[in-house]
Amino acid sequence: MDKLSYRDSGVNIDEGNAFVDRIKPLAKSTFDKNVIGGIGSFAGAYAIPSGFKNPVILSSTDGVGTKLRLAIDSKRLDTIGIDLVAMCVNDLICNFATPMFFLDYYAMAKLNKDSALDVISGIVKGCKEAECALIGGESAEMPGMYNGDDFDLAGFAVGIAEREDIESTKVKVGDVLIALPSSGIHSNGYSLVRKICFDKLKMGFEDLIDNKKIIDVLLEPTKIYVKTYKKLKDKINALAHITGGGLIENVPRILNKDLGATIDKSAIKSQNIFRFLSKYVEENELYRTFNMGVGMVLVVDKNNVDSVIQSSDGYIIGEVNNSSKITIL
């Protein structure tokens, strides 16, 4: 009876090792002075940054949803890694945590080094934009779990904050809601987007919306707000990352039970893709599925509004009140 190797089952250890060697210099380009060692050990090591009085470690994990399906089917894999980083680090800053490092999990049926390198290159770009280090990850060939070119991604980000910043509640009646624009749909609601564009309307990737290919619009990477947060941290009372659930479900997450907010719908600067989708989706469903052009909401004391707007691309969309609910007018 012939004996079998791991390669006979569909897993090529040598190919995996060669891939790790190719991504080591990419990961190293994200390192800062706190990274200890390199890529390839059993765990990544990162020194606690100095300058914190009572530091607390925070973590966040996420994926990119079915936006990944579009990236795979269109063979456009160079930006999906940016989305992965963005979805994790944008959550961290909502708890006043400065991102320190990132890890990824990348599972596929069979390793294609060129495709995988595109994915990791995107993660590296995202980490550089978020000013955090890519200190490790896992790439797993799993034949029988995935088929063909399919793969899955998960990201893990760790940040640091002062304990008093995450325990104190600064939001009060009269605070102003400032919207930071999204770059588009970001990474939520893609099952509905795919249903509309490709199942209902039978669109192709090359079809145009406002003279731009639909696939370019849909794969626009999620905006990373870390640098803006760092610049404005001392002038912000709270932040809400507008992900699944939209403005309706994410803004309440940063308000006490006795507080609410009024949002002026006419003030929101939505991209054309949302106006296109609005032809096929009820308005309430739009606002609880998509970000509608708002990637992050900052809650700011009215005395800091002018300086925040001058130092960002933000604009006013509403105000905190004592209604205990979110009202979009």
Q: What is the pLDDT of residues 121-157, one digit of tens each?
A: 999 999 999 999 999 999 999 998 999 999 999 999 9
* Structural contact between residues 193 and 134, judged by C-beta atoms closer than 8 angstroms: no
Place of tokens 């990791």: 120
Q: Express each pLDDT in 246-301 by its tens digit.
A: 999 999 999 988 999 999 999 999 999 999 999 999 999 999 999 999 999 999 99
* pLDDT surpasses 90 at 12: no
pTM of the model: 0.94
Output the pLDDT for position 1.
63
Q: Express each pLDDT in 40-84 by its tens digit.
A: 788 999 999 999 999 999 999 999 999 999 999 999 999 999 999
**CATH superfamily of this structure's domain 176-328:** PurM-like C-terminal domain (3.90.650.10)
Output the pLDDT for position 303.
97
Output the 3-class SS for the chain.
CCCCCCHHHCCCHHHHHHHHHHHHHHHHCCCCCCEECCCCCCCCEECCCCCCCCEEEEEEEECCCCHHHHHHHHCCCCCHHHHHHHHHHHHHHCCCCEEEEEEEEEEECCCCHHHHHHHHHHHHHHHHHHCCEEEEEEEEECECCECCCCEEEEEEEEEEEEHHHHHCCCCCCCCEEEEEECCCCCCCCHHHHHHHHHHHCCCCCCCEECCEEHHHHHCCCCCCCHHHHHHHHHHCCEEEECCCCHHHHHHHHHCCCCCEEEECHHHCCCCHHHHHHCCCCCHHHHHHHCCCCEEEEEEECHHHHHHHHHCCCCEEEEEEECCCCEEEC
Q: pLDDT category, 200, cuts 50, 70, 90?
A: very high
CATH 3.30.1330.10 intervals, the chain: 7-167
Core vs surface per residue 310-319: b (16+ CB within 10 A) or e: eebebebbbb
Q: pLDDT category, 314, cuts 50, 70, 90?
A: very high
Q: pLDDT category, 16, cuts 50, 70, 90?
A: confident
Share of the chain above pLDDT 70, in %: 98
Output the pLDDT for position 21.
83
Output the pLDDT for position 19.
79
Q: Express each pLDDT in 81-115 by its tens digit.
A: 999 999 999 999 999 999 999 999 999 999 998 99
CATH architecture of 7-167: 2-Layer Sandwich (3.30)
Identify which of 177, 137, 142 has the alpha carbon closest to the alpha carbon of residue 41.
Answer: 137
CATH 3.90.650.10 intervals, the chain: 176-328
* pLDDT surpasses 70 at 8: no
Tokens representing 183?
A: 């770059």
Output the pLDDT for position 29.
95
Count Cβ atoms below 10 Å from residue 174 Cβ, excluding itself: 11
